[in-house]
Amino acid sequence: MHRRTVLKGALATGLVTTLPRLATADPLTLTAAPGEAPLVVPDGPATKAWLYNGTAPGPVIRARQGDTLNVTVQNDLPEPTTVHWHGLRVPVSQDGMPFLSQPPIAPGDSFDYTLPLHDAGTFWYHPHVNSSEQVGRGLHGLLIVEEPPEIAARLQADREITWALDDWRLDNDAQIAPFGNRHDQSHGGRTGNVLTVNGTYLTRTLVRSGERLRLRICNVSNAQHFHLKFAPFDPWLISLDGHPVAPRKLGDSGVWLGAGQRADLILDIDMAPGTPARVIDDAYGPDRAFEVMTWEVSDEPPLREAPLGPPEALPPNPVAQPDLANAETHTLTFDGGAMGSMAEAMMEGKMLSIQELAQAGRFWSINGTVPAHLHDTEPLLRLALGKSHRITLENRTRWPHPIHLHGHSFQLTDPRAGNIATLRDTALLMPDETVEIALVADNPGKWMLHCHILEHQASGMMGVVEVA
């Protein structure tokens, strides 16, 4: 079952940790600094990692929809950093894009972010400088924007659980393997060998018969995509990338989570104590399925006798609806990677052959171009402010790509199995797949669009979309 068992010695089967949390009432400071994380064995060799406030993942930040969140980010890393608030529709100056929206925070310096919280939902935060390494060393955390309590109460959840799903590449001493691997960049990204839930390997979650859980799941891994199955439970899917969907049973289809994506589920523990149940990931096929974590149903008497009815739908977030009939249309084509057909691409105004690109550490292009630096690159697209736009995303590679746009949430106009309808901030494009997204360009600025496989981003699969 466990394809990720390269580590020698006894493996932990720890309970899923409840992460430290920061509420808006606290003074919010996130300090990024080197430290140690007990990823694999609670009292075994600790992994040298980079941490927010001493933990990986960092604290769960919780705030209320409609509030303004103020966070001071202190950089105690040996290199510059920023923090990007993934999925929050904030002004460009607060978005954490290096050079595009702010100078990187130098070691020893800090930056104050002011974040208006328009949308309720499950979001997350992570650095946007040297992302493959900084995120891969442990810098990431969940950011929960709560609905007003009377709305959340409609879900009738007894308890809320957050899971940061991560995938680490560790050596036999549980230390993080080196970064900058060209094979990762040109293939499927930095996939790992140890899967953690909230920073712990092979976890159990203690639950009680009859209880209803609200589960907020975020894929914080560098490159891994997950296809989660919950049988014998059949949870309700209630939200994707922070945006509510009409509650629907997952059934046999499970839920896909590309890097950066989130899903909220309502899960009724309709099982007797002692019944085994696990969450399985079979993104790479049923014969390569492995365990994400195990449920442990306690001996306590059931919390309720009769099962609860379906959860009520949450109200939509205030995202403008694009006018599909009158939208401007655009296309972005993604090329490159191993086994691809990209022969050349433009970089800094010069056409480079695939060999020259590889020498420059670039393996991917968007619309035939590769940015040298973000801040002086020509925008891939210019979207007229306040107008509706339909953008065709064409994956001409042999690899899946979770494509993320900053500053906006978009609709998938042709939802498929992997990307159920509704609003998203990250669209998982399967190999050779084309999808269309639509949005109202209502947040002015120069925004990043990139693959959330962070090694793809670093090696060319990124660009700028200007809204003006």
| Contact set with ligand C2O (CB under 6 A) | 84, 86, 126, 128, 260, 404, 406, 448, 450, 452
CA distance 118 to 61: 16
Nearest to 283, CA basis, from 259, 260, 267? 259
Distance of CA 44 to the CA centre of its chain: 29
d(CA 436, CA 350): 30
Residue (135 or 157) nearer to ligand C2O, CB? 135
User: Going by DSSP bridges, is the β-strand pair 369-370/277-281 parallel, antiparallel, or unpaired?
Assistant: unpaired
Q: 246 or 339, CB closer to Cu ion? A: 339
Residue 126 touches which of Cu ion, ligand C2O, none (CB < 5 to 8 A by kind)? ligand C2O
Task: Considering the complex, state which of residue 221 and residue 388 has its C-beta at the smaller distance from Cu ion.
Answer: 221
**Minimum distance, C-beta of residue 278 to ligand C2O, in the bound complex (Å):** 28
Shortest distance, CB of residue 463 to ligand C2O, whole angstroms?
A: 11
From the list Cu ion, ligand C2O, none, partner contacted by residue 401 (C-beta under 5 to 8 A by kind): Cu ion
- From ligand C2O, Cu ion, none, which one binds at residue 389 (CB under 5 to 8 Å depending on kind)? none
Could you tell me which of 281, 296, 291, 139 has the C-alpha nearest to residue 201? 291
Residue 96 Cβ, how far from ligand C2O at the closest point, in Å?
8
Cβ contacts of 123 within 8 Å, gap of 6 or more:
85, 86, 87, 88, 142, 143, 144, 145, 242, 262
Residue from 105, 176, 420, 453 binding Cu ion (CB under 5 A): 453
Residue 225 found at the interface with Cu ion (CB under 5 A): no
CA distance 376 to 402: 24
Query: From the centroid of its chain, how far is CA 175?
Result: 23
Q: Residue 451 CB, nearest distance to Cu ion (Å)?
A: 3
CA 391-395-396 angle, to 5 degrees, is 130
Size of the site for Cu ion (CB under 5 A): 4
Number of Cβ within a 10 Å radius of residue 103: 12
Tell me if residue 327 falls in helix, strand or coil: coil
163/334 with CB nearer Cu ion: 334
The torsion angles phi and psi of 215, rounded to 5 degrees, stand at -110, 125
Q: Which of 52, 456, 458, 465 binds Cu ion (CB under 5 A)?
A: 456
Measured at CB, which residue is nearest to ligand C2O? 86
Query: Does the footprint of Cu ion cover residue 401 (CB under 5 A)?
Result: yes
**CA dist., res. 331 & res. 412, Å (int):** 14
- Supply the minimum distance, in Å, between the C-beta of residue 131 and ligand C2O: 7
In contact, 288 and 225? CB cutoff 8 Å? no
Q: Is residue 332 at the binding interface for Cu ion, with CB under 5 A as the rule?
A: no
Which CB sits closer to ligand C2O, 12 or 458? 458
Choose from ligand C2O, Cu ion, none: what does 456 bind? Cβ within 5-8 Å by kind: Cu ion
Using CB under 5 A, list all residues that contact Cu ion: 401, 451, 453, 456
